[in-house]
Structure 1
Amino acid sequence: MVDEKKIKNFIRPMLAKSYEKAFDDEDWIFEIKWDGYRAIADLSKDDPLFYSRNGISFLSKFEKVSEDFENQIHKMILDGEIVAYDDTGKPNFQLLQQIGDNPNLALVYQVFDILWLNGHSTENIPLVQRKELLKDALIETDVIKYCDHIPEKGIDFFEQMKKMKLEGMIAKKADSLYVENHRTTDWLKIKFTNTEEVIICGFTEPRGSRQGFGALILGKYIDGKLIYSGHTGTGFNKESLSKMYERLKKLVVKTSPFEKKPKTNMPVTWVKPELVCEIKFSEITKDGIFRHPVFVTLREDKNPEKISDSTNNISQINENPKEMKTNPAPKKTTRTSEKEKEITLNRHKVKLTNQDKIYFPKEGITKGDVVEYYQSVAEYILPHLKNRPLSLNRFPNGIEEQSFYQKDASDNIPDWIKTTQVYSESNDKYIDYIYCNDKATLAYLNNLGCIDLNPWNSSLPDLEHPDFLVLDLDPSKKNTFDDVIETALQVNEVLKSIKVKGYCKTSGSTGIHVYIPMGGKYDFDQVKDFAHILMKQVHEQLPKITTLERSLQKRDDKKIYLDYLQNRTGQTLASAYSLRPKEGASVSMPLNWDEVKPGMKPTDFNIHNALDRIKEKGDLFKPVLGKGIDMMKALELLQNDE
């Protein structure tokens, strides 16, 4: 086995951005966040390589793991984390650092990704497929394990991690590709405590009876410059204080490594900015200083030059990396140019921030343009939102950056925002849903990053009985929009045969939605069962291009999913007249049935032309909120047809 201090031409792994809060999303998977050393195992040649994210060889340091590479039968390159377990079976990073003193330490290499297999790179294959390949190729041993994941249910998984007293979880987009040496919003790390790596830049004199030093002076790189970020003197015992002091004495320099020397209460001894430590803290102030930082451990595996401002909490998401690197596309709309303003709507003051932020990069459409669009169509969209709990789909940095779902209203919403409490069985708690009945709330939600608005099918005061039934025609990757149109027309034929009038709209994305007014006369189960019967009729007529199979893995990628399960409590779809977070800034637009014909495209209706069309046609969806159908009569007609 080759063992070098530093490996040449090594792979730098893909990294995750910090994120504030757990979420549920069917397009994401969730893994345990291991508290260990990130490690690449290159088993592509006869002599294996095993090294840290900085290219430092782990072959001899973690010999227990590297010996087991002989059990692998495939040529491959693996990405994972070396984890040490304490007596209680819990990952323990400090033990990992003391491996020399603990040769019998319980070690496991948790493998969560594969970058190369039997002569072929796998980096451009979607993550879930890479993990399937990994699961098949990896021979598990006592010290090499496949790191499994769970799909969609991030909130429950996060709570489970908390009960197990683990560090947190990693959220990964299921279709994400592997991008080496890149910190991306396709992978997110969500921790229970705020922790951060920082550089030790100096130490202060001790006070009273304390030996060694008083506090460590901390810094990190911002735009290539080393910036002061606070100090910490807590988290040490006598032994660790003494060991740290011995390390620091060897690194002493005469001048401050900071361009701007920070003020300190005690005299400072400066050191070369070479040591990285991990701290935990309560929050970061506006000027980038850690509050209540506590020393956790030294991070020998981290390169100080890589310790930059990587925090990306929701409250701190304020720039789009793509905007900073490239010039945004020329603006087609220039109506809103003020960055920040306060407006009064419905006698409420609404603060609008970052109005120049680009939300649709290719079109140059700003956050301000989104606010203005919704205000212009408010009289048409508000009746479809009124008294309906909303699931907030927030895009704080625009459509090409990370989005997240929010159901529970935060504690700091304005007191005039209307909310309703709904008990959630899956979370075993009450959730405060926002509902939007006026222009002020509309603007407030847009300012939060809600590009589209997703209301429930039922409304207050009776959330148990939906006002309408939804038939969602959801195409697979290889369907054309003309296939969707053909399916929508077949839905209409089925409805006409039972004397039911349906109302259709583009989803604003790739599908079509057909709504049937129910008038709040039936409960969700009854409406869902009726929708299922209707979709079966459609599928019988179009078996070659439609399916009732919900699972993406099992579904034919040339078939349209006839989704009747949107008729369950708490399900949401984009409202009529809602913008969609898609390229082209399309709008979910109601249609007359004679407009539903081949050649029509979802992007035909967008932020630029929607208002003119709505003014010309009026609210084609108004009947959806009116008197409901007689479902029993419709079912009788359906049985007679059979």
Structure 2
Amino acid sequence: MAASGKTTATEVEVAGRSVRLSSPDRVIFPERGFTKADVFHYYVAVGEGIMRALADRPTTLQRFPDGIAGEAFFSKRVPTRGVPPWVQTVGITFPSGRGADELRPTDLAHVAWAAQMGTVVFHPWPVRAAAVDHPDELRVDLDPQPGTDFTDAATAAAELRGILTELGVTGWPKTSGGRGLHVYLRIAPRWTFTEVRRATIALARELERRRPDLVTTAWWKEERGQRVFVDYNQMARDRTIACAYSLRANARATVSTPVTWDELPDVDPDDFDLRTVPVRLAERGDPHAGIDDDPVDITPLLDWAERDAGQGLGDLPYPPDHPKMPGEPKRVQPSRAKRPADDPTA
């Protein structure tokens, strides 16, 4: 490979393909001094792990052409011109009914090409190209609210692990790259987005019952308090999470990193960054290496959802940009709903 320079473009062989790397010295993470070349080679170095997370999934690209201090945008459509002929796409449909052809990483060259295009964060859908309307991944997003932190999310995750163990199910934790935690379940692609979201709500409610002091499913921020919010709407169609081994667009250049359950109590998410994660992966392997081995049957969770509905606990609000869904409660803040009809601010 030719030496990198401020105006030099090089060709790098990745997965048997030639991928162009231009402007390698462009600074992407100013506080750490990490360049475009650093980002590109980071993704090549963690290829085993990130391809396990991305392979064959419709993937939205969070791009920062001028670095994270500059303008950012989400690229949900692969350009129609100037793209290598080997780049694969997959058609998906948004809640609005509109469609798009998103990147479909079939090998590591696709990830490297996206990095060349200024991608810092990869946001895959929880589906594969063969069944884009049927998730094969149930994602539990543990989001600490003001007054809570990563330690609280880890405590909630340990409680969640207990529930999953009772169900005979394996969960796969990873850091979000920030204060939160994600726990994934690999599932068979038999159910719709609506059904998988219902199952996620049922699991979240069970966690909330066991630790109401620590966990909440309240959609409205005014009701959450100082608790960890289980963001069940991450399982709504067109909602995505930064994948395992994706960089995050923060000053520290942290990485959303798979961890084992045993190490979780001692994890500091700031320890996982662009420099440290490739070394960790090379030395210890991928904690998510077995995630595809045993898909989970979510029927018990759907049974819990039916039980909850029978007790008056039906659906919860969808994100505001989704069409109104059958059985969904009103999308209005509780404080606004309680105002009298003649209140001019209502």
TM-score (norm 2): 0.81
Distance 1:551 1:397 in 2: 35
Q: Give per-residue Cα distances to partners, 1:410-454, cap 9 Å, x unaligned.
A: 22222221112223351x433111111223221111111111211
* AA of the residue aligned to 2:271: D
Aligned mate of 1:592, from 260, 267, 280: 260
**2:242 is matched with which residue?**
574
Aligned mate of 2:294, from 627, 630, 640: 627
Distance 1:638 1:526 in 2: 10
Closer/same/farther in 2, CA of residues 631 and 465 from structure 1, 3 Å limit: same
Quick check: 2:92–2:132 contact (8 Å CA) kept in 1? Answer: no
- Structure number with the higher strand fraction is 1
Aligned mate of 2:277, from 607, 610, 633: 610
Aligned mate of 1:391, from 60, 65, 76: 60
Quick check: 2:201–2:305 contact (8 Å CA) kept in 1? Answer: no
Quick check: 1:517–1:623 contact (8 Å CA) kept in 2? Answer: no
Quick check: 1:356–1:368 contact (8 Å CA) kept in 2? Answer: yes
Distance 2:31 2:90 in 1: 37
Aligned mate of 2:9, from 318, 331, 341: 341
Quick check: 2:142–2:180 contact (8 Å CA) kept in 1? Answer: yes
* AA of the residue aligned to 2:114: L
Closer/same/farther in 2, CA of residues 373 and 480 from structure 1, 3 Å limit: same
Distance 1:634 1:418 in 2: 35
The Cα of 1:555 is off from its aligned counterpart by 4.3
Bigger Rg, which one: 1
The answer to whether residue 191 in structure 2 is matched with residue 522 in structure 1 is: yes
Closer/same/farther in 2, CA of residues 624 and 394 from structure 1, 3 Å limit: same
Q: How does 1:24-63 map to 2 (within 5 A)?
A: none
* AA of the residue aligned to 2:127: S
The Cα of 1:347 is off from its aligned counterpart by 4.8
Ranges in structure 1 where 5+ consecutive residues have no aligned partner: 1-335
Quick check: 1:476–1:558 contact (8 Å CA) kept in 2? Answer: yes
* AA of the residue aligned to 2:90: T
Distance 1:400 1:565 in 2: 29
**2:332 is matched with which residue?**
none
Higher RCO, 1 vs 2 (CA within 8 Å, ≥6 residues apart): 2
The Cα of 1:636 is off from its aligned counterpart by 6.4
The Cα of 1:515 is off from its aligned counterpart by 0.6
**2:219 is matched with which residue?**
550
The Cα of 1:602 is off from its aligned counterpart by 1.0
Distance 1:424 1:584 in 2: 32
Distance 2:229 2:304 in 1: 25
**1:560 is matched with which residue?**
228
The answer to whether residue 91 in structure 2 is matched with residue 421 in structure 1 is: yes
Larger mean CA deviation between 457-466 and 492-501 belongs to 492-501
Aligned mate of 1:539, from 193, 208, 213: 208
Q: Give per-residue Cα distances to partners, 1:553-608, cap 9 Å, x unaligned.
A: x34452221012211223211111111112221111111111111x5221111111
* AA of the residue aligned to 1:451: V
* AA of the residue aligned to 1:424: F
**1:410 is matched with which residue?**
79
The Cα of 1:477 is off from its aligned counterpart by 3.0
Q: How does 1:164-175 map to 2 (within 5 A)?
A: none
Quick check: 2:139–2:183 contact (8 Å CA) kept in 1? Answer: yes
The answer to whether residue 115 in structure 2 is matched with residue 454 in structure 1 is: no
* AA of the residue aligned to 1:515: Y
Distance 2:95 2:201 in 1: 24
Quick check: 1:359–1:366 contact (8 Å CA) kept in 2? Answer: yes
Ranges in structure 2 where 5+ consecutive residues have no aligned partner: 308-346
**2:321 is matched with which residue?**
none
* AA of the residue aligned to 2:267: M
Distance 2:254 2:138 in 1: 23
Task: Give percent identity, aligned residues only.
Answer: 30
Helix, strand or coil at the partner of 2:10: strand
Aligned mate of 2:145, from 468, 472, 476: 476
Task: Count residues in correspondence.
Answer: 303
The Cα of 1:635 is off from its aligned counterpart by 6.0
Closer/same/farther in 2, CA of residues 517 and 347 from structure 1, 3 Å limit: closer
Aligned mate of 2:268, from 601, 611, 625: 601
Helix, strand or coil at the partner of 2:129: coil
Closer/same/farther in 2, CA of residues 352 and 479 from structure 1, 3 Å limit: same
Q: How does 1:113-512 map to 2 (within 5 A)?
A: 337-339=4-6, 340-343=8-11, 344-412=13-81, 413-426=83-96, 428-512=97-181
Distance 2:69 2:223 in 1: 27
* AA of the residue aligned to 1:611: P
Closer/same/farther in 2, CA of residues 632 and 384 from structure 1, 3 Å limit: same
Quick check: 2:199–2:301 contact (8 Å CA) kept in 1? Answer: no
Distance 1:637 1:421 in 2: 33
**1:93 is matched with which residue?**
none
Distance 2:134 2:247 in 1: 27
Distance 2:109 2:298 in 1: 37
Quick check: 2:94–2:238 contact (8 Å CA) kept in 1? Answer: no
Helix, strand or coil at the partner of 1:616: helix
Distance 2:201 2:93 in 1: 26
**2:328 is matched with which residue?**
none
Quick check: 2:9–2:22 contact (8 Å CA) kept in 1? Answer: yes
**1:170 is matched with which residue?**
none
